[in-house]
Amino acid sequence: MRDLFESIFPDEPLDPIAAARRAMRPQLRRRFYQRAEVEDAENEFRLLLDGRPVKTPARRTLAAPSRALAQQLAAEWDAQRDVIDPAKMPLTRLANSIIDGVIDTPSAVAFEVERYLACDLVFYRAGGPAGLVMRQAKAWDPVLAWARDAMGARFLLAEGIVFVTQPAQALAAASSAIPKDPWRLGAVHSLTTLTGSALIAIALAHGALSVDAAWAAAHVDEDWNMEFWGRDELALEHRAARFSGMRAAAAVLEAIT
């Protein structure tokens, strides 16, 4: 079974977008199990397939720190039909990346989130047209207001893409709000790379934004361009995959408090 799982979920990258791309393989494994269930063992909740534990690509036990999250993992496996499609298993992919890539190196993962803070999406505003400027302000100003009021982090805004150095105090305050728990940290890292904004991810983790509001805030520019230039089917497929990843990360945050 170990070799089988390595072929289904090989070497998960931390970047969920890269993970989604690698998941789109033409050859899928047939479903080989009858049922997925959860086992309570050693302060964790393990996923079992026909009574056998599942291993991550790094050969660790696929287990969650809460029963609710483990049950969602089991439901994801139960939802597979004739074949096992990793592209339709965003929560399993995220769990694999957290277990194999976050738990042992949380500082490195937190540092990646901090790097986004230094040049966050919500700092850089369009100079026009007026409609886009207003949409960005409506979606992003509440995030900045929350950072200011909840964390005491006051950031600088810029027009265009020229880099602006942010106040050290603001960066330190926002960095302190990055979760320390590896599961929540992994979820925030996933959200950060999906949205391009560490502040949006941190706000979602602290309950200041809903999933839908965070998604909308992250896609102001993309939505604006779609309205003017039309929708591309392939781009919409990629967008749907990203949203599935976002919901998976939100599920981790909700289950791990």
- Tell me, what DSSP letter sits at residue 165? P
CATH no. of 2-101: 3.30.2180.10
Residue 18 backbone dihedrals phi, psi, to 5 degrees: -65, -35
Residue given tokens 């990203």 in the structure block: 242
pTM exceeding 0.85: yes
Q: Comparing C-alpha atoms, which of 197, 192, 209, 208 is closest to residue 149? A: 208
- For domain 106-255, give the fold: ATP12-like fold (1.10.3580)
Specify the pLDDT at position 48. 97
Q: Comparing C-alpha atoms, which of 98, 42, 37, 66 is closest to residue 254? A: 66
Q: Tell how strand 63-64 and strand 44-49 pair up.
A: antiparallel
CA 195 to each of CA 52, 102, 133, 183, 242: distance values in angstroms, whole numbers, following the listed order: 36, 19, 19, 18, 9
Specify the pLDDT at position 1. 44
Q: What is the pLDDT along the chain (257 residues), one digit of tens a residue?
A: 444 455 455 555 555 545 545 545 558 889 999 999 999 988 899 999 999 999 999 999 999 999 999 999 999 999 999 999 999 999 999 999 999 999 999 999 999 999 999 999 999 999 999 999 999 999 999 999 999 999 999 999 999 989 999 999 999 999 999 999 999 999 999 999 999 999 999 999 999 999 999 999 999 999 999 888 887 888 888 889 999 999 999 999 999 98
Domain residue ranges of the chain, discontinuous segments joined by +: 2-101, 106-255
Specify the pLDDT at position 4. 44
**By CB neighbour count within 10 A (0-12 exposed, 13-18 middle, 19+ buried), where does 230 fall?**
exposed
